[in-house]
Amino acid sequence: MSNDLHLDRFEVRLSGLGGQGILTLGRIMGQALALDHGYEVTQTQSYGPEARGGASRCDLVISTGKISYPKTICLDLLVSLSQEACNKYFGDLKTEGFLLVDTSLVGQTPTNIFWGLPFTTMAQKVGLVQTTNIVALGALTHFIPFMRATSVRKSLKEILPQKIVDINIKAFNSGFNRAKKEYPEAPEKWKFS
């Protein structure tokens, strides 16, 4: 069902702190959607000194047809893995858009309507805090109805170095299953034009 979903500019922003692997997360997600699901995807990111240490962000525009303007205009989904990023980018979210946060780091959400999972704590449980981004990717795969877990796992294996693939698959599954358990109905809430 999900792979045939017609999309017209579905915009996602992944945000957090530098070092959380936001860009890798965006790249894996973008690649899975572009190459395996067959969508058109543009992925842009902020570069330079601001991308080191401080806030980090990565934008994806996903569409069934050709994408003209490559940047985001109005976000359908904002993923924030830090309080600062959440505060900074919340204003770019559509009124009917969704917010997904890492509850281990985002204590004060600007709205009560949000999805939240403790990605960092979950990654620690998996055994490697650096897999926070992949835990989030697992959760995203559940929340976004047109993303297939098999394709994302495949893309993950292609992009990540061989020796860390196993633990990341574990992290992915942990995020995916927890999201499915806590928010079973979330994928149904989207309204696609």
Partner 1 sequence: MAARSRKNKTTEIFALGNEAVVEGALIAGCTFYAGYPITPSTEIAEEMASRLPHLRGGAFIQMEDEIAGLGAVIGASLAGRKAMTATSGPGFSLMQEHIGYASITEVPLVLVNVMRAGPSTGMPTNPAQGDVQQARWGTHGDHPIIVLSASDVQECLRMTVTAFNYAEKYRTPVILLLDEITAHTREKISLPDPEDINIYTRLTPSMPPEWYMPYEDNMRGVAAMPPLGAGYRYHVTGLIHDDHGYPTSNPREVEHIMHRLFRKIDQFFYDIQMVDEIQCQDAEICIIAYGCVARSAELAVQQARERGVRAGLLKLKTLFPFPRPAVEKMLRQCSNVVVPEMNMGQMSREIKRVNATQSKIITLNRVDGQIITPGQILSKILKG
Site membership for partner 1, residue 165 (CB under 8 A): no
Q: Which is nearer to partner 1, 24 or 109 (CB)?
A: 24
For residue 49, the minimal CB distance to partner 1 (Å) is 8
Residue 37 CA to residue 155 CA, distance in Å, equals: 11
Q: Which two tokens stand for residue 157?
A: 């294996």
Amino acid at 110: P
Site membership for partner 1, residue 72 (CB under 8 A): no
Site membership for partner 1, residue 159 (CB under 8 A): yes
Site membership for partner 1, residue 64 (CB under 8 A): no
Site membership for partner 1, residue 96 (CB under 8 A): no
Site membership for partner 1, residue 91 (CB under 8 A): no
Residue 117 CA to residue 136 CA, distance in Å, equals: 8
Among 1, 4, 68, 112, binds partner 1 (CB under 8 A): 68
Site membership for partner 1, residue 82 (CB under 8 A): no
For residue 130, the minimal CB distance to partner 1 (Å) is 21
Site membership for partner 1, residue 155 (CB under 8 A): yes
Among 6, 52, 71, 94, binds partner 1 (CB under 8 A): 71
